[in-house]
Structure 1
Amino acid sequence: MKIVIAPDSFKGSVTAMEAAVAIEQGIKNVLPDAETVLVPVADGGEGTMDSLIAATAGKKVEVLVTGPLHKPVKAAYGVLGDGSTCVIEMASASGLGLVPPDQRNPLITTTYGTGELIKKALDDGCRHFILAVGGSATNDGGSGMLQALGMKLLDSSGKSVAFGGGQLQQIVTIDDSEWDARIADAAFLIATDVQNPLIGPDGASHVFGPQKGATPEIVEQLESNLHHWANLVQAKTRIRLHEMPGAGAAGGIGGAFQAFFPAEMKRGIDIVIEYTRLADAMEGADLVITGEGQIDFQTASGKTPMGVAEAAKKQGIPTFVLAGSIGRGVDVLYQHGIECVHSIINAPMTLEEAIRRAPELLAEKSEQVLRTYLAKKVYTNGVDKK
């Protein structure tokens, strides 16, 4: 029996590979001779870089960059096995996890460090980029990233504006005279499942601003500032970001890529499936097991379990999902190739305990799920278990 194990990370608990190893342990408890293929995956957020590095025998390069609060932070980018493709997780340099909860304020947080990562990778010869833009702490329209790459954003006095979404209103001139010329010869693939426009009720400020520390008053200020920024970008490039799908990704950095880079936006999970060659790994498989920390109605929008199940469904392979917790609206998943969803929690416990025991719980649940699957096969095939 061949089983493909392709989970995402369980955030704050286990990496995608650690989850896959734990699931494999449970399977081997039932079928020691089963063929198990481990393909840790991600959906464009945390873990995307590690997944692609592992799949292509790449390497990680550490860089000291400007963090979201303007202080130095250690970040990293990945170079895939081809030696020329760079993978950057925006969260590594400009992520919400780098900002203490009591200091979260998208008026001041910057994407400058993400631009520094791109510049360093260009210096190292990379010309193909995969940008995973989930988990940002910013709402600056990508202005900081642009500044790091040579774009001058000037106020009425001809001086460079300060960092942060709160400064966009001060910009009167976008000067690209020192813009990094190497960008025109590169290609940028933006991994995101966010289709929000830059501004409006479904835009970056209103939808994502509050989780980054924005009060209702700050949201309105950010909205006004992004509107001003979009007008400037349109005047400069003739590209209208205001209502453009995906322009609101990661506080507007999606719009910056669409306006100033040779960029394409694509679902993160589809990129990871392509680079990990997951479809090839599934050939001849009897079962696929995937999972992540939280499963709910949002999973259908392009999260890892959904993408894995869609790939398996094309080959007629059933997909089982293991989750730390199950939210509302999971019924919709059964229309897309997911056969069942199981919580790994087996008794009342605190979140801290669940996080600590995740490998053990994953192994136990995968064993139980496989035993149930095999029993059902015996029953439906009319075989006498005796």
Structure 2
Amino acid sequence: MVRVVVASDKFKGSLTSAQVAAAVATGVRRVHPDASVVAVPVADGGDGTLAAAVAAGYALVPMVASGPTGDAVHSGYARRGDTAVVELADVCGLVRLPDGLAPMTASSFGCGEMIAAAVDAGCTRVILGIGGSASTDGGIGLVQALTGSEALDTAVLRARLDGVQLVVACDVDNPLTGPRGAAAVYGPQKGASPSQVAALDARLTEWAARVAAATGRDLRDTPGAGAAGGVGFAALALLSAELRPGIDLMLELVGFREQLAGADLVITGEGALDEQTLHGKAVAGVAAASVVPVVAVCGVNKLRADQLAAAGVRAAYALTDLEPDVARCIAQPVPLVEKLAERIAIEHLTMAETGEVGA
């Protein structure tokens, strides 16, 4: 029996990873009705991380927390045993700002509330995905939520997180401050003007000095400190966190490697295959971790065949190959994904069985 593992990220603004997997399964089974198709939704630490954890068997623990501008939002964390998964984007990320960006006021406070709730519930390992942040607060809000105070009290933090391991999914190597820092590089994406970028960088510089004075260590230039508007810095300098590549951490979380036993093909995917894909995104991460052939489905493909091959991807199948109108691809992606999956099944499963092209 043919066995296919579908390990796709979301198609942002169009399909969740679970919906991609369902459409792929439908298409594959049109060619191989008895195929075993296993869905392993993945994410890279940004939005979709919580959904991937739940799809992998973690239980969703709903809660109300502070959104990026302080308004209450319905979110939650995922839990299995003593491990919790917190997605910053879902509680206080850009996706929580439907009415406009807030570069000077957005806070990471809600993320700290989530971590605190998980720890209070008995979790001793917290996996934190920090992609999609709306704030550039250096993690001040997160720290305040954990301490219950605006004062920087490292003793309270140590006691609060005693015996707790914090692992952060982080895919950037930016420092906290300076020309490659959180404000300069990511501030404009969060709506900051040039003058606001300068003001934010000054705030982060002052914050880094306060933390250094309190801890005796200056970690502002540590790779990853600038992640999520400086949440990476707070996690490193004050929470003793371990930073790990997002996709590697998520593949471990969802048990991707365990699902490869007996598999004939892995089908991965994300909305767009481009240069960013090659640097720690889901498709490249899945391909690097797989011991069986990998192909990709996507909305649009901007990579050459040799780039895909170098990343471990045999071929890419884009919705725009079937429908050139991107708007239609976004609005009605399911039939297109199903058709691409049929093509993949023929070219990489049926032909592989006969030793023809595509094997």
Q: Normalising to structure 1: TM-score of the pair?
A: 0.87
Partner of 1:171 in structure 2? Answer: none
**Aligned equivalents of 2:162 and 2:305: distance in 1?**
43
Say whether 1:131 aligns with 2:128: yes
Secondary structure at 2:287 match in 1: helix
**Unpaired runs of 5+ in structure 2?**
none
Secondary structure at 1:6 match in 2: strand
| TM alignment of 1:282-321, pairs within 5 A | 282-312=260-290, 315=291, 317-321=292-296
Equivalent pair of 2:176/2:225 in contact (CA under 8 Å): yes
How much does 1:372 deviate?
2.6
Quick one: which amino acid aligns to residue 271 of structure 1? L
| TM alignment of 1:114-125, pairs within 5 A | 114-125=111-122
Quick one: which amino acid aligns to residue 96 of structure 2? L
**Aligned equivalents of 1:330 and 1:226: distance in 2?**
42
**Aligned equivalents of 2:252 and 2:353: distance in 1?**
35
Deviations 1:179-218 (A, max 9, x none): 4623022010101211111112221111111111101111
Cα 1:129/1:239, change in 2 over 3 Å: same
**Aligned equivalents of 1:320 and 1:196: distance in 2?**
31
Partner of 1:355 in structure 2? Answer: 330
| TM alignment of 1:330-341, pairs within 5 A | 331-341=306-316
Deviations 1:328-354 (A, max 9, x none): 577433212111112123123252x32
Cα 1:151/1:18, change in 2 over 3 Å: same
Deviations 1:67-105 (A, max 9, x none): 11122121211112x2x1111000122111111353x12
**Aligned equivalents of 1:88 and 1:261: distance in 2?**
15
Cα 1:283/1:177, change in 2 over 3 Å: closer
Partner of 2:43 in structure 1? Answer: 42
Q: Normalising to structure 2: TM-score of the pair?
A: 0.93
1:244 to 222, 243, 247: 222
**Aligned equivalents of 2:356 and 2:67: distance in 1?**
59
Cα 1:350/1:4, change in 2 over 3 Å: closer
Partner of 1:150 in structure 2? Answer: 147
Say whether 1:219 aligns with 2:197: yes
How much does 1:233 deviate?
1.2
Cα 1:272/1:337, change in 2 over 3 Å: same
| TM alignment of 1:1-386, pairs within 5 A | 1-55=2-56, 57-80=57-80, 82=81, 84-100=82-98, 102=100, 104-150=101-147, 152-153=149-150, 174-176=152-154, 178-179=156-157, 181-312=159-290, 315=291, 317-327=292-302, 331-345=306-320, 346-351=322-327, 353-374=328-349, 376-377=351-352, 380=355
How much does 1:139 deviate?
0.2
Secondary structure at 2:324 match in 1: coil
**Aligned equivalents of 1:184 and 1:246: distance in 2?**
23
Equivalent pair of 1:297/1:332 in contact (CA under 8 Å): no
**Aligned equivalents of 1:230 and 1:182: distance in 2?**
21
Higher-Rg member (1/2)? 1
Equivalent pair of 1:27/1:370 in contact (CA under 8 Å): yes
The sequence identity of aligned pairs, in percent, is 39
Equivalent pair of 1:151/1:177 in contact (CA under 8 Å): no
* Matched positions, count: 355
Secondary structure at 1:333 match in 2: helix
How much does 1:378 deviate?
6.6
Between stretches 254-263 and 332-341, larger displacement belongs to: 332-341
